[in-house]
Amino acid sequence: MTSTPPLAGLRVLELARILAGPWIGQLLADLGADVVKVESPEGDDTRSWGPPFVEGLDGEHLSAAYFHSCNRGKRSITADFRSEEGRALVRQLAGHADIVIENFKVGGLAKYGLDAASLRKLHPSLIYCSITGFGQDGPYAERAGYDFLIQGMAGSMSITGQPDGQPTKAGYAKTDIFTGLYSTVGILAALRRRDQTGEGATIDLALMDTQVAVLGNQALNYLVSGKPPARLGNAHPNIVPYEVFPVADGHIIIATGNDGQYRRLCEVLGRADLGSNPDYADNKGRVAGRAVLIPMLASLTARRHKGELLTALEGAGVPAGPINDIGEVFADPQVIARGIKTELPSAAAKAGAIPTVASPIVIDGVRQVAGRPSPRLGEHKDEILNDPTWSGRHG
């Protein structure tokens, strides 16, 4: 099935680097927008964040895997903001764009006349999205923000890790990625408003704000009780049993979400009496009795083998699953069937294509993923400067 991408015709100027800003540009490109990535003459820092690197035809590298994780679907041009020529080029491109994305420190682009106030004065219908560590105001506004630091400062690490171990960050840059997603939502909302009013917008997204926002139920656990949540390892603060359990050949996850599932779990484990025990009959009792109940259940799961127990739990309607490494993820039949891993043709790559993880968005049966791989540095300079869609006056 083919269809016109939902954002076809939208022009995006990306002045961003590393992850949060490029994540926005990649998602908009997946949805059909024309995204022009403006890089310094040295290129986005993540081009060198390897190994691993994508190998080119002659053994040279085509940038690090990290870069390719968040830059597919874009066209690249270089500009040195320190030169008037570079600044003029950015102003020219901004005059044809619907959206500008940047993630410089607060005030970092004002000295070049490329900040939101300067560009929106010239082009009132422009939607300008700024990502910073701490936002455009407040006592920390001038600080640089990094995903790892924000996970610590914004509470995420205080609730992640084993109770007797170190506070632990996530194994990927979740604050950056969530900020990219929230930014995209803000941009799409601003586009909707512009359709109605003709006016653009200045969007202020902060890593700190985002990480606090996505604390979710744990934030409300604190705001309602007044007690900061503690680290529980793989256990859930509000649901029991909902954690990792040992089996004879490794570990599995059991995630019961209601009393019926808990009773069926006990039946599968041969202890129906634990399911009917009034101390554990409802979730409130199981949370209160966690310290006694979990070791009893773990002693039962430890006698069973992973495959056999998972099959039995699935048959009983008890949510459970394996703990896959990333290789196992991409070999999983569901992941394969959904087509989330794909290959983007590249004449410059030794393999003839560059692998990518497609957007999870499927619209009318079509997975939304840009058709071109991440660009080589400055690859599209002539193409962009001669592109008629970037030649008209904006706003």
The maximal CA–CA distance of the chain, rounded, in angstroms, is: 78
- 259-265 long-range contacts (CB < 8 A, ≥24 apart) are 259/283, 261/317, 261/318, 261/319, 262/286, 264/316, 264/317, 264/318, 265/241, 265/297, 265/313, 265/316, 265/318
The single residue listed with the structure tokens 């294509």 is 353
Choice among 34, 115, 147, 176 that is catalytic:
176
Is 249 annotated as catalytic? no
- Residue 28 exposed, middle or buried by CB count within 10 Å (0-12, 13-18, 19+): buried
Provide the CA 274 distance to its chain's centre, in angstroms.
40
Catalytic residue numbers read 176
